């Protein structure tokens, strides 16, 4: 029952126009991984200074174990699949500029280049936070990650219950 309510809550967060946009989404072949906050931003510091030294070189290990550090910029909440063509056009722009680009080129023209990216833009637009501010962006990125994981878990449980 709780899972059905969560799914219903998620569905109710979208307008009819947004639902139509999402239904009409088509995934492109030959996708490319987009870092929403870029790996090498134009005229700006990198997102995660904690895992790189002053020269931008990887520090190597995290928490004194042997696992390589996962840079904040490479975490799930910051990654999206889009076409290679799209990625090359805006690759090093900051999130604010990318949001403007996607709104003008795609969302305003009733297209979505990535469902996950669309959800991130919707989240950013709903908050009073600056997506170009590294600290605030990390908070947004983590919130997006948590929402996506919740969506996957909810969908998985729904699929399991219908299979029984």
Domain count, the chain: 1
CA dist 3 and 77 (Å) reads 23
Report the DSSP beta bridge partners of residue 80: 34
Is the distance from CB of 139 to CB of 95 less than 8 angstroms? Answer: no
Residue 77 pLDDT level (bands cut at 50, 70, 90): very high
pLDDT at residue number 19: 80
pLDDT 10s digits, 134-154? 889 999 999 999 999 998 898
pLDDT, mean of residues 106-110: 71
- The Cα 80–Cα 113 span in angstroms is 10
Domain extent, residue 99, equals 2-163
Please answer whether residues 86 and 28 qualify as being in contact, where contact means their C-beta atoms are separated by less than 8 angstroms. no
What would the mean pLDDT of 2-22 be, rounded to a whole number?
63
Both tokens of 45, joined, read 């510091």
- Return the top range by mean pLDDT from 31-35, 79-83, 145-149: 145-149
Nearest-10 crossing angle of helices 115-126, 16-23: 160
| pLDDT of the residue at 63 | 47
Which residues are paired to 68 by β-bridges?
61
DSSP state of 76: G
């Amino acid at each position: 029952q709780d899972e059905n309510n969560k799914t219903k809550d998620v569905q109710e967060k979208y307008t009819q126009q947004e639902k139509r946009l999402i239904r009409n989404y088509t995934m492109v072949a030959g996708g490319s991984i987009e870092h929403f906050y870029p790996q090498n931003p134009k005229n700006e510091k990198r997102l995660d200074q904690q895992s790189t030294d002053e020269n931008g070189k990887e520090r190597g290990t995290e928490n004194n174990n042997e696992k390589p550090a996962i840079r904040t910029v490479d975490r799930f909440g910051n990654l999206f699949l889009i076409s290679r063509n799209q990625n090359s056009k805006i690759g090093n722009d900051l999130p604010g500029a990318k949001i403007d680009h996607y709104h003008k080129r795609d969302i305003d023209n009733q297209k979505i280049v990535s469902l996950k990216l669309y959800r991130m833009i919707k989240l950013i637009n709903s908050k009073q936070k600056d997506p170009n501010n590294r600290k605030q962006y990390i908070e947004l990125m983590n919130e997006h990650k948590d929402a996506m994981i919740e969506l996957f878990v909810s969908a998985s449980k729904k699929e399991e219950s219908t299979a029984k």
